């Protein structure tokens, strides 16, 4: 889809998601760190839009906790099995059998281990495509030899005053 909507933490996103789905938007961008599973699942159910018409993006959170914005090299990260368990729980909370795009929210020192987990989720059909957010050239170089390459590299673009036509 050319247009989509991001989600805010918690249930406050649900009314906006329902409205945008009814307006014809078909892409939703969520994340484990946003705790928005109930809002996304509820909005989809309320909208009446079939899952097959939607493109759902979500992100796996690689850090051991959700506290603060610190993403330094010293922040503890999850191991691969913990990342896998968390994604499977996230998918169940979304009430979906798969997501269309799964992004690693932030690259860490465990980037290759985390990438292997995302690749395994793709091969199992739980994520149709995989990618990475907030990566730089050095991170991409680490993935250069991976059997599965990122389908998407998502970068945040912050614009103070932006109008969508």
* Spatial strand order in the sheet of 55-60: 5-6, 27-29, 55-60, 99-104, 127-133, 152-154
The one catalytic residue among 25, 34, 61, 106: 34
Alpha-carbon gap, residue 25 to 1, rounded angstroms: 8
Q: For residues 102 and 148, is the Cβ–Cβ distance under 8 A?
A: no
Give yes or no: 34 in active site.
yes
Q: Which residue numbers are catalytic?
A: 34
């Amino acid at each position: 889809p050319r247009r989509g909507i991001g989600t805010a933490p918690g249930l406050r996103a649900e009314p906006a998601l329902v409205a945008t789905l009814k307006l014809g938007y078909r892409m939703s961008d969520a994340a484990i760190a946003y705790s928005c599973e109930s809002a996304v699942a509820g909005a989809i159910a309320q909208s009446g839009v079939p899952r097959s018409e939607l493109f759902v993006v979500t992100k796996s959170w690689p850090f051991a906790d959700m506290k603060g914005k610190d993403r330094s090299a010293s922040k503890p990260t999850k191991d691969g099995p913990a990342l896998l368990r968390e994604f499977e729980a996230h998918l169940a909370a979304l009430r979906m059998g798969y997501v269309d795009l799964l992004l690693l929210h932030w690259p860490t020192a465990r980037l290759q281990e985390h990438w292997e987990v995302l690749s395994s989720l793709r091969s199992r059909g739980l994520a149709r495509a995989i990618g990475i957010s907030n990566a730089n050239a050095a991170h991409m170089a680490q993935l250069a030899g991976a059997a599965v390459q990122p389908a998407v590299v998502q970068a945040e673009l912050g614009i103070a005053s932006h109008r969508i036509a």
